[in-house]
Structures are given as C-alpha cells and as structure tokens.
Structure 1
Amino acid sequence: MTEAAARIDVSVERPATDESVAAPVVRPVLTAPVRTVPVDLGVIQPRRRLGVSDLKVFPLALSGNVFGWTADDQQTFDVLDTYFHIGGNFVDTADSYTDGRSEELIGAWMASRRSRDDIVLATKIGKSRDNPGLTPLAIERAVEASLKRLGTDHIDLLYLHVDDTEVAFERTLLGVDRLIRSGKVRWFGGSDHSGNRLYEARIASGMLGVAPMVALQNRYSLVHRTEYEQSLARVAQQQRLGVMPRFALASGFLTGKYRSKHDVRGNRRGSEVAKLVSKRGLRILAELDRIASLHAAPVAAVALAWLLVKPNVVAPVASATSPGQVLELVQAARVQLTRHDMADLDRVSAG
C-alpha cells in the first residue's frame, strides 16, 4: 500500500440517511463542524466479533468516562469525530458518568452526525444516583433514562455496572431479559463480577431460559493482571465471553506520561497513578519504550496491542480528550507484536 493510499483524512463525512437520524436528546444538539485530522495508520485490523453476539466492533472501544468532565462539549465532539472517521464504531459509556452528561453528549453527537446506525453503543447501569442497584424496577428505569439521554430506541450492549449481591441474580436476569425481548437492549454483559458470580449467572440464565451474558468488562492491563488472569480468563473462555478490558492504560500510566512522583501532580487520579510509579511500573515502561521504538508506535498503542493478543479480548476500553490522543490509541490496531515482544512484556509485568 502506498503512503497516499494509507493516509486517511478524517474530515471526510460518511453518507447518512434520514432513517439513521436519532431522536432528540435532553439537551440541545451541538452542530460543531468536523475537524480535519489527517493520519497515516497503515492497514487497520478488521472488526472483531464480540463473543457469541452478532456485534462486530473496532478493536478499540472509545470510553465516554471523560465526556462532560475533563473533555468539554467541543472536545467531546472532536474526539468522537476523529474516532468515527478512522473507522471506529464502538463507544462505551455509563449512566453514572458525569451524572448522565456523557450519555447526553454522545446522543447529541450521534444525532448531529446521523451516525447511530454505524455505532455499536454500550452503556452501563447500576451506579447512577437516580437509579442505583439492579432490581428489575431500577434496571427498567435506568435503561429508559439512558435511552432518552442517548436519543435512541435501543442499546446494543448493556453492562451491569455493579454486582448487586442484595438482589437475587434471577430477578436481575429476568429484568434484563424483558428489555431484550422488548428490543430496548440487544445484548448484555457484566462488569466487576467475580468468576464465581459469572458461573452463577450462567446457571441461572439456563434454568430460567433467559438471555445469557455475552461480554465482560473488568480491570486488565500490563500493571493489573492478577485478578483477570487467575480468575476470570478461564470463565471467559468457557462461556465464550467477549472481554473489554477497562482501565487498559491504568489511568494514563501506560501512556508513558508519568515517570516520577512530580509528573503525577495535578492528575485527577493522582493517588492511584502514584502507586504505579514504582520499580515494577518503571520496568514495564522501559520495556514498552523499547518495543514501541521497534514498531515506530506510541507507547500507549503497544500497551493496548499487548491486550489485543490475549485470548477472548475483543477491544480494550480507553479514553481520550483530544484528536491527537485518539490517533495514538487506535494505532494499537496496526501494531503486530512478535512472540518475543509478548514474552518480554509478560515477563516484565509478571507479579
């Protein structure tokens, strides 16, 4: 492929039809122009199938956890525009992110760009201030509120954002299944569930004859491996769950931005990142630096590429506050790590 053929100009609009226009959202729809951000990404990997579902997604899920928080309205639109026009189609948010503002901004963007039909939309429920927990009533109210904020009639992938042990799994599963049967939710998954709880959920769904989980979103990265690899990886394999690692860049640490206690000052998650500025953490960054230089890729892209090689991982979840950050993250889709690269990263991040 020539350099000219490989270059993608993200200012090019995708065609839209009247049928793809989303319903109005709660707040006024923004009409910010699409910014021009050319980038050479080479050959982008094809979309991946999400577990046993029929969803096919870009190998990086764009997180909405910063939308309406560290990314204002204009920055949010710029980030979404950039991700969308380089082929991204997997947007991840939650009803608790900035008290629903993240969902509102995503809904406004989809309506403005007429992009709903091209987006695999994931959101999470269970932690919101208005509809906490996972009783059938809370689930129904939370989903209805999310649909209104997102300006859509269905959610492609609904996550249970908490493991609500005060509610019998059977009740939660029946509540979700009703929404699936009504067409308001297509597929669902878990977040922060233990391996044993995932087994319980699968057994209960089989006994009730309701839809099972197809996805899992838990913390997993080069600096947080133990919980997933020792407990959840085997469950994901057995149940054929599509895995979307969250905190895939460890609150920004794996971008290489934070290499001393001084660098952490001013970070909104400073206390968490500061713990990673350790001998082990810096060894991981040094190895990422070395491999990144071999592949002419950003450090963050190599950290995400490591996850993409792991069994059942479909798309790491990462956030960005600028188009430039998006362009760095999506390069994970073109980085082809060798067996030696993987072995070296596994070794340095073990323990």
Structure 2
Amino acid sequence: MEYKRLGETELKAPPIIFGGNVFGWTVNEKESFGLLDQLFDMGINMIDTADSYSHWAPGNKGGESETIIGKWMKERGNRDKMLIATKVGSNPGKEGRDISKDYILKAAEDSLQRLQTDYIDLYFTHWDDDRTPVEETLKAYQILIDQGKVRYIGASNISIERLEASLKASRNKNLPKYEVSQPEYSLMQREKFEGKLQKICHENNMGVTSYFSLASGFLTGKYSTEEDIEGRDREKFLQEYFNEKGKEVLKALKDVSDHHNISQAAVALRWIMQRPGITAPIASATKPEHLKSFKEAIRTELSSDEMDLLNKVSS
C-alpha cells in the first residue's frame, strides 16, 4: 500500500483516511471496534474525527467518536501505530463557533482525555469564528506544539481570506503553519476545492484530505429517488443531489464500475485519489462489508478516458 506525505509534515497518510463521524452515531461502540480492527488489518491507520462528533445523535453531547477511538487504541495498545486527526472550533452542543486561545487550549485537553493519548497527530481548525485574530489562534496551537500535545495543524471550513491571512502570519511572525487543508470535495461538489483553494494549497505545499468524498452516500448508488432518503440520518445532506447532474454522475459511475466489476463507491473514491492536489480522501463506512469498496479503490486505476468522462459529467 502506498502512503503519501501530508504537506511538509512527517505524517504519511494511507490512500483512504477513515472518517470517524459514524462512531457513536450510526455505529455503536462494539461495531466501531470491529470496523477499526478491520481497517487496521488493511493498513488504513489514519482516523479523522472531531470533538463535536457525534453530538447530533439523540442523547449525545459531542466527543463520543473520540471516546470510542480512545478506548479502542487503549485496548489494542496501538496508539504509536495510528495517526489521529481531530478538530476544534465547532463548539459542540452550544451556539456559535470558537477558535479563541482559551477555548482551543481547553478543548485540546478534553480531546486528549477522551482519546486517552498524550498527543494529537493533526489538529484542525474545524470551523472559523471570523472574529478571533488569526494570530491568536496560531499562538494557541504554538503552545500545544511546544508542549508536545499537537504535532501539526490543519484547516477545514475557513474562508480563503482567513486561510491566506493565517499563512501570511505563519511566515511573517514565526507561527505554526496550517500543513493540511480539509475541504468538501466529491463528484457532486468540486467548486469548494478546485480553483483558488487548490492553488493556495499547491503554492504552500499543503496536504489535502477531502471530506464528504461519497457525497453522504449518494455516490454509492444506493439512493435512486428522494423517497429512498426520507427519514434517514443523512437526509438533509442528500436532498440537494437529486437533480440532472446527479443522474448523469450516477450513470457514469455505473458504467465505469460495471467495466471494472467494482462498486460505484470505489470509482467515486478512486476519481478523487487520481485528481491533482489531493493527498487522500476521507470516507466512512457503517458495516464491515462496506470496506470492500476501499480495497477496490486502492487497487484500481482509472483510465484517462474514464477520468475525462467523470470530469465532464461532474463539472
């Protein structure tokens, strides 16, 4: 399995990073342990989570995903073999977002406790609050890095302007640099990464780990009509995809997947893996058999004609 360096860090990501948002939400603790065991055996040793996962599930407060991952690593004794990315700033269970110094320092301690670890490999600004000076946020990360509690930092869901200001502050004021960007990116959503953000990441040698890589499950092909998603956990994410573009993308995915005799999910993931500027996509699964598509994506190579087709229908 080929591992890719994340930006200018010493971290090397597997071809697909597992999205831990399902832990404590659509997958209980026992099921989560089973998935984590299988992923580890496959060589997928990087998990992406957040302090807010999975606060949206009934009865949850946030941090459930980190707690499950922490218990699993403790029981397996494999923390040193894992790469853990988590996030701060969404202020789970409360109104508003917060990336102030005091909030970050407190949230990091809480995440470390839940993860039962002394350090976080990659710590993301999850959501920007648009009011905290970028220097204040970066100084908080500097404290955590100096304490050995965070190795590297990344940025997700912050504006182009704030990202550029942060990178400038890093250069001019000797502050930590965002080494990884985490944008939404899939065959159904290309605009949030391609163009300006892609250029910034390239110019600043940033790694890129895309989320919603399967468009909340839409690209797996299991949802044919809007009726199929009624009452489902991901209904609010899926509604916008049922249009002409969505139909064309699903048809192209089916044609390519039939040719290779692999799943549509595998083709959707492989398309991202072969796109310029991407280090690795993030993808989730709720059942062990779903991980078959990960294996298929890793071993498959799409032709230039297949890539052109998928690029055309998704543009």
Query: TM-score when scaled to structure 2?
Result: 0.94
Residues 1:174 and 2:130 aligned together: no
- Give CA deviations for 1:118-138 in whole Å, capped at 9, x if unaligned: 111000011133795111111
Aligned to 2:88: 125
Q: Does 96-105 or 271-280 show the bigger shift?
A: 271-280
Counterparts in 2 of 1:60-209, with a 5 A limit?
Answer: 60-98=16-54, 99-129=62-92, 132-209=97-174
Residues 1:269 and 2:234 aligned together: yes
Q: Which runs of 4+ in 1 moved over 4 A?
A: none
Name the aligned partner's letter for residue 125 of structure 2. Answer: L
Aligned to 1:223: 188
Aligned to 1:293: 258
The separation in 2 between residues aligned to 1:298 and 1:93, in whole angstroms, is: 25
SS class of match (1:156) = strand
SS class of match (1:253) = helix
Residues 1:56 and 2:12 aligned together: yes
Aligned to 2:57: none
The equivalent position to 2:249 in structure 1, one of 265, 276, 284, is 284
The separation in 2 between residues aligned to 1:272 and 1:102, in whole angstroms, is: 20
Q: Is the Cα–Cα contact under 8 Å of residues 167 and 178 in structure 2 kept in the other structure?
A: yes
Q: Is the Cα–Cα contact under 8 Å of residues 51 and 92 in structure 2 kept in the other structure?
A: no
The separation in 2 between residues aligned to 1:202 and 1:251, in whole angstroms, is: 30
The separation in 1 between residues aligned to 2:239 and 2:99, in whole angstroms, is: 34
Name the aligned partner's letter for residue 78 of structure 1. Answer: G
The separation in 1 between residues aligned to 2:277 and 2:288, in whole angstroms, is: 28
Name the aligned partner's letter for residue 125 of structure 1. Answer: V
Distance change (3 Å), C-alpha of 1:210 and 1:130: farther
1:196 CA displacement = 2.3
- Count residues with an aligned counterpart: 306
Q: Is the Cα–Cα contact under 8 Å of residues 240 and 312 in structure 1 kept in the other structure?
A: no
1:204 CA displacement = 0.5
- Give CA deviations for 1:105-146 in whole Å, capped at 9, x if unaligned: 000001111111111100001113379511111111010000
Q: Is the Cα–Cα contact under 8 Å of residues 161 and 190 in structure 1 kept in the other structure?
A: yes
The separation in 2 between residues aligned to 1:130 and 1:141, in whole angstroms, is: 16
Query: TM-score when scaled to structure 1?
Result: 0.85
The separation in 2 between residues aligned to 1:74 and 1:130, in whole angstroms, is: 25
- Percentage of matched positions with identical amino acids: 39
Name the aligned partner's letter for residue 44 of structure 2. Answer: G
Is there any run of 5+ residues in structure 2 with no aligned partner, and where?
Answer: 55-61
SS class of match (1:226) = coil
The separation in 1 between residues aligned to 2:285 and 2:226, in whole angstroms, is: 22
The separation in 2 between residues aligned to 1:94 and 1:272, in whole angstroms, is: 18
- Give CA deviations for 1:230-267 in whole Å, capped at 9, x if unaligned: 32111111111111111111110011111112211232
Name the aligned partner's letter for residue 7 of structure 2. Answer: G
Aligned to 1:315: 280
Distance change (3 Å), C-alpha of 1:338 and 1:92: same
Is there any run of 5+ residues in structure 1 with no aligned partner, and where?
Answer: 1-44
Q: Is the Cα–Cα contact under 8 Å of residues 19 and 49 in structure 2 kept in the other structure?
A: yes
Q: Is the Cα–Cα contact under 8 Å of residues 258 and 277 in structure 1 kept in the other structure?
A: no
